[in-house]
Structures are given as C-alpha cells and as structure tokens.
Structure 1
Amino acid sequence: MSATTCNETRKKNVPYYDRPRERLLREGAGHLSDAELLAILLRTGSEQETSFELAQRLLATFGDLRGLAQASHAELTRLKGIGQVKAIELHAAFELGRRLLGGSGQRRASIRLPRDVAELMLPELGHLTQEHFVCLFLNTKNHVIGKKTIFVGSLDTSIVHPREVFKEAIRCSSASVICLHNHPSGDPTPSREDLAITHTLREAGELLGITLLDHIIIGDARYVSLKEQGYL
C-alpha cells in the first residue's frame, strides 16, 4: 500500500475528537479543549502522530497551556514534531492572546465600575446558548491580568468550586477576582444558586486574601452586578 493510500485511510479512521476543525465549525471554538485548539494551530502531525496527539504531548511536556505559553523557542524546537515554523506560530498565537487580555505590548483593561466589566464581556457572553462561568483576574491597580472560563453548563455550587477559581487566581498572582456568567434566557436576574455561589466564593476569597470584587450576570444586552445589588 502506498504512503498516500495509508494517509487517506488513516484520515478516514481519525476519531471525532481528532478532527478539531470540524468540531469548531459545528460547535464553536468555546467547546474545544486546549489540545484541540492547539491541534488547529499545529495543522499537521506525522504518520506516527496526529496533530491532536502532538498537541496533547506538548501540554503534557509543559504541564498545561500556561506552561506551554511561557516556553522558549529553544525549548519548543527541541521537541520532536516542532520545527522552527510551528514554534514561531505558537509564539505569535500566545502573544496575541496576551495582548487581547491586556498583556505586554498593550494597555491593560482597567476596571473601575461594573459597567466596565459588562462592556468588556457582553460581546463574548451575551450571545451564548449555554451558561459560561468566567473569571477575570486583576492586579492591585484593578488591571485585568488574566481570564479563564471555569465551567460551561448549568451552574451548581458543587461544580463551580472555589478551588478552580482561586487556583488560577493564585497562579496569576492576582489581588482580586471578578466572576461573570451569562443567562441564555436573556434575563440577568440572579437565581438562588447564583447567590449561593457568590457567597461561597466570597468566603473562600477572604480566607486566601483575594477579594471577590463582583459577580456579574450577563443577559440579552443587559447585566446585573451583585455588588451593586448589595450581595457583596
């Protein structure tokens, strides 16, 4: 069997999770894992390893996406399957991400009022059909230094755990956190579950010395700030 025929057969037999481009088109980028998004950037693997498998190996080597983003050019190119071009493309992609979130080379978003948060996040969360729980991590000057989607799906205190929120806050060396989630119904009125999650996160933050500044619920071009409502 020729190499071309082998590659074609392999492509037909690639599992669903190994076809991230198709998943992105069907479900949107927000539903893809870190490895799947990386596989799209890497584009191709080898006869022995798909781009998805290469992406998984990269994440395993550097611990996680943050570790990979901080890897040097030499560290990347020492790995089998990562040449000069792929390393450069990864550096460029991570730098764009840092700039989008207010990293080096760009003015960081400054948060003064709940309205600032809503204006920043409404374009991202206002149109989603599933609930997304997102955290913004701020420094002592209330500049956004990081952002992470903690959970996708119906919110529950057993799922949105303080451990996941504050683990990332500690890694970012953030002084405070702002939590947001959307209501796909379009009505941003807080539920009892929303209030319970806020209470739990506030108490956890107090123990760690990281302030929960606000929990903002995004609706259809509207928002509710639990701080403004007196819950924080």
Structure 2
Amino acid sequence: MKCREQEYKDQLLPRERLIQYGSEVLSNEELLAIVLQSGNKSTPVMQLAENMLKEVDGLYGLKTVKIEELMNLNGIGTVKAVQIKAIVELGKRLALSTQEKYGKIYSSQQIGERLIEEMKDLIQEHFMVFYLNAKNEIIRKETIFIGTLNQSIAHPREIFHLAVRYSASRLILVHNHPSGNPEPSDQDELFTERLVSCGEMMGIEILDHIIVGESGYVSFRETQRLSL
C-alpha cells in the first residue's frame, strides 16, 4: 500500500514533479512529456511520450531516429519532431562540454601588472574576483561591486555565492584605489581577514588580495600580510 507522500507524488504532473523533487526522480517518459508539452485530442501527453519511446525502441533509438521518422509517428508532427531533435542534439553537446577556462594564474605579479592598465584610470572603486579551479585556471572573472569615489561595499555573501555556483576552489580578490595609491587601508586588511575566515569555513582558499593604483599594485601575498 502506497504511503500518502508517494500518492501525492504520483498525482503531480511531470513539470510539477521536476520543480518540487528535481529532474533526477522523473522517468524517461515524464522527461519526454515535458519536452512535448502537450498531447492531442485523443492522446494525453504522457501516453504520447510512452508510445513514442516504444516506437523508436527507447532512448538509444530516440538518439538515432531521423526527423522524418519522428514526424510520421502518430501525434507528433513537425513542431514536436523538431523539439525532440533539438533536445537530443543539445544533450549530445552537453555530454561533450567542459568548463570554459580563461588562462592560468602563475603569480600575483601576473595579475597585478595585467590590471594596472585596465584599472588605473577608473574614478570609482571596482571590486572584482578571479574564480579559480584547483589548477589555478581561471574559471570566471566577475566584477562584484562598483563603489563610490573612495568606498566599496562588497559583501562576502555575494563573493562566495558565486564561488559555489562556479565550483571554484580558490579566489583572487582585486580592487583599485581611485586615489592612485595602492597601499592597503585598515579597512582593506579587516575585510580581507574576514574573507579568509569565511573561505576557511567553506573550504575555499583566498590566494591573494591585490590592490591596484595608478602605476603599481600591492599584493597581500607578496607582502606577507595576514595569513595568505
């Protein structure tokens, strides 16, 4: 005898089940029904999905079937055939996809010198983060906050939310001083210390905090500030 929770799950439409429980719990027929979106006057969408998988001999057949064959299946037609072929092709490309990389970091000097030209003339403070994998390859570079003339308000929550989203192992923090003097302020040191503590709790390493001025930069790692 089914428990109430299972009965409730069975009553939900595939789209509702996906939203509530995740795509992993759906059957092949339910996932296909979501792609098809609707059935026709004589056949509900779930039945249409089941019939199609039987006709093409399962998922492997769906991967290899020609669009003309799909269009000839009862209840499919051109639009649904095109949707199916598009989602199958997308699945193939997803299986072959890898995370995009934007170069590898070898030193703080590499980052500092690279960003002097990019940031030296900014009249507002920009706080950006380089998100790295375990091999120090750049997964993403994000400007987290653009502040006032002499103040930024970047929050650790925003920084680490993106780190989790991108599956980053390490971070390099960068911001500019519009005054042109890259020497860290007390606030810079306190903020960096706070981020290092947050990173330790989450298992995400802060490799460096680099401050860029008009003609130079200061690296927390190179100057052995804090525990970096």
Q: TM-score, length-normalised on structure 1?
A: 0.52
2:208 alignment partner, one of 214, 221, 225: 214
RMSD: 1.8
Structure number with the bigger relative contact order (C-alpha 8 A, sep ≥ 6) is 2
1:139 alignment partner, one of 133, 154, 157: 133
2:162 and 2:121 map into 1 onto residues whose CA distance is 25
Correspondence list, 1:117-156, <5 A: 117-153=111-147, 154-155=150-151
Runs of 4+ residues deviating >3 angstroms: none
1:119 and 1:189 map into 2 onto residues whose CA distance is 15
The one-letter amino acid of 1:109's match is G
Aligned residues of 2:130 and 2:141 also touching (Cα < 8 A): yes
Correspondence list, 1:140-219, <5 A: 140-153=134-147, 154-155=150-151, 159-219=153-213
Aligned residues of 1:155 and 1:193 also touching (Cα < 8 A): no
Tell me how far 1:124 sits from its aligned partner.
2.3
Give secondary structure in 2 for the equivalent of 1:127. coil
How many correspondences in the alignment?
Answer: 127
Flag the structure with larger Rg. 2
Q: TM-score, length-normalised on structure 2?
A: 0.53
Tell me how far 1:108 sits from its aligned partner.
3.1
1:226 and 1:130 map into 2 onto residues whose CA distance is 21
2:138 and 2:119 map into 1 onto residues whose CA distance is 17
Give secondary structure in 2 for the equivalent of 1:230. coil
* Structure 2, unaligned runs of 5 or more: 1-34, 36-98
Aligned identity (percent) is 43
Correspondence list, 1:18-97, <5 A: none
